[in-house]
Each structure stands twice: as C-alpha cells, then as structure tokens.
Structure 1
Amino acid sequence: MKYAAALLLSLLPLLAHAVQTGETLAPWTLLDQYDQPYSLGSDTRILLVARDMDGAKLMKAALAEQPKGYLEARSAVFVADIQRMPALISKLFAIPAMRDYSYRVLLDRDGQVASRYAGEEGQVLWLSLDNGVLVGQKAYTAADDLKAALEQASR
C-alpha cells in the first residue's frame, strides 16, 4: 500500500495543468533576493524560469557582463525555483551571493510558481507574454543562445 501511495504522489505533477498558448497566466507574487516583492503584471513581456541550479547557472552565464537593469529594459523577469535548496544553504550562502548579481532574481522558495510552467531541469524556459497572455514559449540549454535571444528582445 505504501508503494501505491508513493507512486500516486509521484505522478501528481504529471496531472498538473501546464499553461498553454493563448491562456492568461494566473497572477502571483514572489520575493526577490533583496526580499522585495514582485507581482506578475500585464507589463511583463518575458518570463524566464529556471527549475534547478543548472538552469540558474545558464541564466547567470547569459547575463554575465550585462549592466544592471538589463532584464527590466526588456520587460523581462527571472524566476528561480529554489525549493529543493536546503534552507540553511540558501539563507547563509546562496541568497547573499545573489545580491551581487546585476539582475533581479525572483525566488520561488516553495515551488508554487515555477511548477505552473512546463519545463525541464537544466534549461531556462522562456515564456513570451502579451498583457499576461502566453503567446509563445521556448527552452534554452545554451547560454549563448539565451544571450542572443535576449539581445533580440531589445529590438
């Protein structure tokens, strides 16, 4: 019986409804690395989501050497799913290190936001939005490709 319950619980994420093109994204609010709240609004054009540390490292590499405000200038926000990171590690090391980044990191501490969007580990999911409606999505596994896409987004 324990195995059946474990199997059922492991399959629940597969039953979750991933947002589809044409759907309006449900509103949410997350704190960033400075504990400042950010709410998803209609002015956000690009939502970038990293489900794990590899995805976050990909984002960091793509934004290396970029000035402060680079994502904001593109109406883009970055969500990092840190739910699996031990609380002590995140509080003492990871989040203080993120304060040195030149970009804002919205921290999904409970995995309640990132899990809404279908995406694989080891990549950055790019969701294109128009007034809160999903109009397209891509996944990036290479920092150079993500960097080039962000450069194109400024035009």
Structure 2
Amino acid sequence: MTHRSASSFLALSPSTARRQALRAGAALLAVALLPAAGAAESELAVGSALPPLSVNDQFDRPVVVDVGTRLVLFAADKAAGDVATEALKAHPDVLAQQRLVYVADISGMPAVITRMFALPKMRDLPFPVGLVRDAQLTAALPRKAGMLTLMVLEGGTVRGIEYLPDAAAVRSRLGIAS
C-alpha cells in the first residue's frame, strides 16, 4: 500500500485488490446460498408433522390448520391463487366436505395493493382463504412456481404432496364436477 496526501485515499495494488474482490465475492456467494440450502433442508416432506398454522381469512376470521385438517391447498404465488379461485369458486362446499383448508401466501404483496385491490376481490369469494402475511409461517411448505400444493394429512402428519397445475387438475383431484 502507498500512503498519499490527506485529500486522497489509500490505494491497493492490482493483485491485492483482485484477491480482496475474489474473497468478497466468495463470501457473498456463500451468504446468498445459505437461505436456499436451509430451505431445502427444512422443507416438509411425506412423513413430516405439519406444524399448527393459524392465520386470518379475507374477513379477518381465524383459519386454522390442525390435526382435524385432512387436506391443505397452498398457493405460494398469485398464479397458484388464480388456479385455486377458478377451481373452487363454483364449489365452496368442498372445503368443509373434505376438511380442506385453503391458504395463500400474500406476504410479498405490497400492503396498499392488498388493502385496495386484493382483499375486496377476495371478499367476493364464496369460501375462506387463509391469508399468510408473514412468509416465515409457510417457509417450510413445499411449492412449485405457478402450481398449487396439495398436502394430504392424517392426524397432522403429511401423508402425500401433490402439485396441481390448473383448475381441472384441482377439480379432478378433489372429485368435483367441472
């Protein structure tokens, strides 16, 4: 390193600067990969106990996933939520009949959009939607972009995981007419 006047800065040799940049890049990459590695390790799988989940619906009423729940339909993104809406809108009774709880993660949605657009639209739905506003609550739930996750439960334990790409697949899997 060379020492310059008070108005200048400390300069590094090109090789030292390159080494420090490589170290910083490697450290940044390692930190960036930690959440992904942790998520993969903590994702629920068949045989896992589903932790109790309690959120509020679009009317601010409690929606609970507990040991009495047989099916959980989980929308991790808007596309999956649209699939659920299309499939369930004409068949709201299927939720109670099959002890199914529908949960949608809206944690990434800006609050103003939620208040002004999403909630009013959801209040028109004939079934409850458990709204997850904190992504940590569902971080361990399995998901695929644009698809609904259907978890089959028995006594609070995951017995099956399916990914449903469209409304027809949801209706077929739940045994409801088109």
Q: Quick check: TM above 0.5?
A: yes
**1:65 counterpart (73, 90, 104):** 90
**2:35 counterpart (6, 12, 15):** 12
Unaligned runs of at least 5 residues, structure 1:
none
2:67 alignment partner in structure 1: 42
CA distance in 1: counterparts of 2:100 and 2:137, whole angstroms: 16
2:141 alignment partner in structure 1: 117
The one-letter code sitting in structure 2 at the alignment partner of 1:77 is V
Instruction: Summarize the alignment of residues 67-146 of structure 1 with structure 2, pairs less than 5 Å apart.
Output: 68-146=92-170
- 1:134–1:142: structure 2 CA closer, same or farther, 3 Å change rule? same
The two structures have a TM-score, normalised by structure 2, of 0.78
The one-letter code sitting in structure 2 at the alignment partner of 1:135 is R
1:31 alignment partner in structure 2: 56
Of stretches 8-17 and 101-110 in structure 1, the one that deviates more from structure 2 is 8-17
- What is the percent sequence identity of the aligned residues? 29
Q: Equivalent residue of 1:145, what SS?
A: helix
CA distance in 2: counterparts of 1:70 and 1:87, whole angstroms: 30
2:46 alignment partner in structure 1: 21
Across the aligned residues of Structure 1 and Structure 2, the Cα RMSD in angstroms comes to 1.8
- 1:22–1:63: structure 2 CA closer, same or farther, 3 Å change rule? same
Unaligned runs of at least 5 residues, structure 2:
1-23
Q: Equivalent residue of 1:14, what SS?
A: helix
Deviations 1:91-139 (A, max 9, x none): 1110121011011100011112332112112000000000101001100
The one-letter code sitting in structure 1 at the alignment partner of 2:106 is I
RCO comparison, higher one (Cα < 8 Å, 6+): 1
- 1:2–1:35: structure 2 CA closer, same or farther, 3 Å change rule? farther
Give the ranges of 4+ consecutive aligned residues of structure 1 lying more than 6 Å apart after TM superposition.
none
1:55 aligns with 2:77: no
The two structures have a TM-score, normalised by structure 1, of 0.88
How many aligned positions are there?
A: 151
Q: Equivalent residue of 2:124, what SS?
A: coil
Kept after mapping to 2: 8 A contact 1:49/1:114: no
What displacement does 1:69 show?
3.0
CA distance in 2: counterparts of 1:10 and 1:99, whole angstroms: 39
What displacement does 1:53 show?
0.3
